[in-house]
Every structure is written in C-alpha cells, then in structure tokens.
Structure 1
Amino acid sequence: MTIRNTNTRGIRPELIKRVIIYGILILLISSAQCSFFAGLKICPATPDLVIGIVLAVSLLDSIRSAAAVGIAAGFVTDALGSTGSFSFSALFYLVCAVILGSIACKMLPRFLSFLCLLIPALALRAVYTTLCVCLKLHSVPPLSILASLVLPEIIVTAVLCIPLYPIVKLCVIPVKSRSRFSF
C-alpha cells in the first residue's frame, strides 16, 4: 500500500525564485545604502534606496510582493545599523508599499509612472524623517530639519532611485510574476 501526498499546492518554483531574487536585491541595495552611501562625503545626506526598490516592485509586481520586500528590507536596513538604534523602518516600508501599490494599480508600468510615483514616495520619506528627528531631538525646530536634512535627502534619493527601476525590472523578468502587465 502506497501513501500518496494529497498536498498539491506545495512550494511553487516561482515563489522560490522570487524570494531568492528579491532577497539578493534587498541585501545588495540595503548594504550599499548603509555602508557605501552613508560614508560618501559628496552626498549631503544618506539616500534611501530601499524606497526605490519598494516603489519599483509595487509598480512591476504586486502589492503583496512590495509589502514583503518592504518588511524584509526594513529589517535588513535596521539590522545593518542605518539609524544607529532600532526604528520602525519595516513598518514604514510596509505602509509605503501599500500606499504606492494602491496608486500603482491605477497607472501603467512605465518609466514615467515610476517618476510620477517617486514624488509621493519622497513625500512619505520626508514625513518619516521629520517625525524621527523631531521625536529624537525635541529642541530642533522642524523648519531647520527640513532645510538641512530632509531636502538634501530627497534630492539625493530622487537622483539615485532613478537607475533602480531598470535594475528591478530586469530582476522581475525571471520571476514571471502574475502581474497584470506583460514585459
């Protein structure tokens, strides 16, 4: 008498590919953000490259994938010590993935859509940075935080996130995502 496996779902190979590809992408971009770009003297502020990945995945794949990428990237970024102490990066990137993914459902997956979605992503990042700094440093006025920290961070992040879209698009192709768009 043979016992057959009645579980027909199992782990799909697409899911394994997706986890491996997005995991490598998260590790590379998060470590570049926390080590290489944090030490550059040319950049006035450390850019947030992870928000570019979350934005590209929400535009190219799905909200679920973007949320998973955001949570994982938030934990990796916190573990690498981007803020010096534990912060709520995973929650922030999850919220960004849901908001940006909801907006992305209304747009086509093109490069101009990525640039249009970069504006609300940078606005979310500006609010998060201002809140974090105001909560840690109570005596600093918010306008000086905006002028000295948030504005340079937004500019550097916008410039460095633009090349991330083609990179993530190349990574999504082997995954064969069941997105509503064809590549």
Structure 2
Amino acid sequence: MSPIVAVCPEHGPFAVRGIVVRSTARLKISGSSTNCSTCGAHSPIMDGEYSIDSHGIATALSAPQWSLDALRAIQEPVQRAAAAVADAAVAEPDALREVQRMLNEIKVQNDALSSRLDEALRGKRRWTIGLVLTALATALGAAVDGSTVVAAAPDIARAFLEALEHLQQP
C-alpha cells in the first residue's frame, strides 16, 4: 500500500495505483495528476518526495499540508468507534454498528483501508476490535497533531498494517 495519494474533487483522497518501481528509488512528484478510481474525475497527485524500497513500499520524505488533512478525515470516525467499543455501557450491537459506520465513512476516503479494517475486524472479539481501533486512533493522532514529522506517518501506517496482518493469523 502506497502513501502516494491523489485527491478527487468529489470523493477526496485515494491511493495512486500504477506507479511501479523494480528496485529501491527516490521519486519526486510535482504537478502530476491521475483519474479518480471511483468516478474518473481529474485528480491531482500529492506533490512530494518519496523513497521507495525494494518491496515497492513508498515512504513520504516530504509532503504538503493536505496529506495531513487526508489523515484527519479518517481520524474522527476511528476515535468515535474506538470510544464506543471501549465503553462498557454501550451495548455490543450498538458498538458494532458504530464500527460499521466508521468503515463506511473511511471507505469514502480510502476504500483499501476500509476493506483491510473490515477483513481484520470481522468476527473478532470486542476487546480485540477495541485494541486495534485504539492503536489506529493513537497512530493517526501522532501523525496529525503537529508533533510528528510527516515522514513518520507512512511508518505508522506500515506498522499498523503489519499489526492487522497478525490479526489474520490463527
């Protein structure tokens, strides 16, 4: 999953597909665009400089403010769902409805993340869901609160996705 994103004027941020690097590289993007993966609208790709490792994972070395805004767009639904799941006074069906609402809201911004979260959380116990959502909310907060440099956000996302992989194991 690449942190290189484009922003559709209608649907918001989405992951750019089609950038293929066969070995480690440093990539600078400026003034580029692509088409929205949902509606086909002209969408600017986030300007910035990226380091791409031998596995094709891109890490942002520099990026504009609107990349942080894309993270903020999913931060609130994650925090809300994490709070509902952690609150013992919230009935299980209500907590799970809040998780589904979060997934639907995230899907608008990042379909891939929504799908991965849905896969990882489906069928898990409430406390496991709570731990994962709390970790994600914490990571998002660290990436967007101004105390963490932008380059750390992809590292946080990669660590979180690795944690999701562990959830998939029996």
TM-score (norm 2): 0.32
Higher relative contact order (CA 8 A, sep 6+): 1
Q: Which of the pair is proportionally richer in helix?
A: 1
TM-score (norm 1): 0.30
